Amino acid sequence: MQTVVKPFDEATIAEAARRILAGECVAVPTETVYGLAADATNGEAVAGIYAAKGRPSFNPLIVHVPTIDAARAIATFNPAAEKLAATFWPGPLTLVLPQRPDSPVAAIVAAGLDTIAIRIPAHPAMQGLLRATNRPLAAPSANASGRISPTRADHVLASLKGKIGLIVDAGPTGHGLESSIVAPAAAPVRLLRPGPIDRDMIEAATGLPVSLDASDAIEAPGQMASHYAPTKPVRLEAAHGKPGEWLIGFGNVAGDATLSASGDLIEAAARLFDALHEAEASDAARISVAPIPETGLGIAINDRLRRAAADR
Ligand code: TXA
Ligand code: MG
């Protein structure tokens, strides 16, 4: 794929919006770091983010929205969340909140969790893209997996050249540090990732004590283990279903439902969490999953499946 870098202006945002609505991901600056944005309501587009980044596992992503009303359509706000949003949005603060049952966001964005990380960014380029697409945008930092976060368009280019179509260049970002992540579910408010909005600012805005609780930030794939575990036993590498099993198919293995009949790993990644939820909700006592090739996005899919199947 050819990667073009274009200066931030109206025409570039229009092109970026066309690409996003066509299911591509596009690199765009925020006030913190450059993000790799995709339509959060399109699971396959979000799977494309992981493919471009070469991420070995699915971390839950931050959803960017233009307005508080758009945030309320996705997440449930308690009083502390209301105060934080009123004080710091738009800006470098991400709230982890319960996701509404009728949220339009694809399951892959929160990696199957029932919470969602959400923020209103302040940067005019990301704001422009949110308004032009009229979609919530999932966006991790626009770097290859394991590399440091990009604060300039040429950092993005060095890391993702050939993997994405467009980088919107608005010069260096203001903060250069990812947003603070806060979970205001109950006192004490938990600061999951320190960032530009510090603990004192959060305490002042909420009037509540704040604990630095980075252990709850879902950074390392291992920390996610319990979140992926269905309550039913899971058998992997299943070429055929056995009696009492709900078989999740892939490619030649049709199953009770399929991740991708054509064997497309991007489609499979997009459907994975929905498929596990569906299997969990079925009448079958056990779940089995067809073999998934250990290549490309298949590595991340198999990582998640092994966690789902692990003894507990
Ligand atoms: O400044 C930023 O936040 C940048 C710009 C692009 O907005 N984005 C960013 O995204 O840093 P990313 O994907 O690199 O980091 C997202 C972090 C992950 O480390 C994950 O632990 C946390 O957000 N996260 C997302 N959803 C979560 C959830 N439901 N519960 C706990 N942590 C969550
Ligand atoms: Mg990152």
Do residue 21 and residue 85 come from a single domain? yes
Which two structure tokens, joined as six digits, stand for 236? 């992997």
Q: Are 17 and 11 in contact (CB under 8 A)?
A: no
Q: How many domains does the chain have?
A: 2
User: Is there a contact between 175 and 59 (Cβ–Cβ < 8 Å)?
Assistant: no
Grade residue 238 by pLDDT with cuts at 50, 70 and 90.
Answer: very high
The residue that leads in pLDDT, 298 or 6, is 6
| Helix, strand, coil percent values for the chain (each to nearest 5) | 35, 20, 45
Q: Are residues 20 and 156 located together in one domain of the fold?
A: yes
Q: Last residue of a domain, which of 179, 212, 245?
A: 212
Q: Which residues contact 287 (CB under 8 A, 6 or more apart)?
A: 230, 232, 233, 234, 235, 245, 246, 248, 276, 279, 280, 308
User: 103 CB under 6 A from ligand 1?
Assistant: no
Claim to verify: residue 153 and residue 195 sit in the same structural domain? yes
The answer to whether residue 208 sits within a structural domain is yes
131 with 253, same domain: the answer is no
Are residues 207 and 256 both part of a single domain?
no
52 occurs within a structural domain: yes
Query: How many CB atoms are located within 10 Å of the residue 47 CB?
Result: 28
Q: At 43, which CATH number?
A: 3.90.870.10
Shared-domain flag, residues 68 and 173? yes
Kindly give the pairing relationship between strand 34-39 and strand 62-64.
unpaired
Give dist(CA 15, CA 11) in Å, integer.
6
Closest CA to 141 of 125, 116, 159: 159
Tell me the three state secondary structure of residue 192.
Answer: strand
The answer to whether 256 and 310 have CB atoms below 8 angstroms apart is no
Ligand 1 binding pocket mutation candidate from 53, 76, 119, 141 (most atoms within 8 A of CB): 141
Boundary of a domain, candidates 180, 212, 244: 212
Both 178 and 51 in a single domain? yes
Among 61, 148, 213, the mutation site with the greatest number of ligand 1 atoms within 8 A of its Cβ is: 61
Closest-lying ligand to the alpha carbon of 190? 1
33: confidence class by pLDDT, cuts 50, 70, 90: very high
Determine the distance separating the centroid of ligand 2 and the alpha carbon of 298, expressed in angstroms. Answer: 21
Shared domain check, 104 and 242: no
Residue 221 lies in a domain: no
Task: Say how many Å lie between the CA of residue 166 and the centre of ligand 1.
Answer: 22
224 within some domain:
no
Q: Is 222 helix (H, G, I), strand (E, B) or coil?
A: helix
Residue 249 within any structural domain of the chain: yes
Please tell me whether residues 84 and 197 are part of one structural domain.
Answer: yes
Same domain, 34 and 78: yes
> Which stretch of 36-40, 75-79, 188-192 has the lowest confidence by average pLDDT?
188-192
For the chain, what percent of residues have pLDDT higher than 90? 66
Q: Are residue 291 and residue 155 in the same domain, yes or no?
A: no
- 39 within 8 A of 135, measured Cβ to Cβ: yes
Question: Does some domain include residue 187?
Answer: yes
CB-ligand 1 contact for 90 (6 Å cutoff):
no
Residues above pLDDT 70, as percent of the chain = 93
Question: Does 226 fall in a domain?
Answer: no
Domain of 293? 234-309
Which of residues 177, 212, 247 is at a domain's end?
212
Q: What is the pLDDT of residues 161-215, one digit of tens each?
A: 999 999 999 999 888 788 999 999 777 899 888 888 988 899 999 999 998 776 6
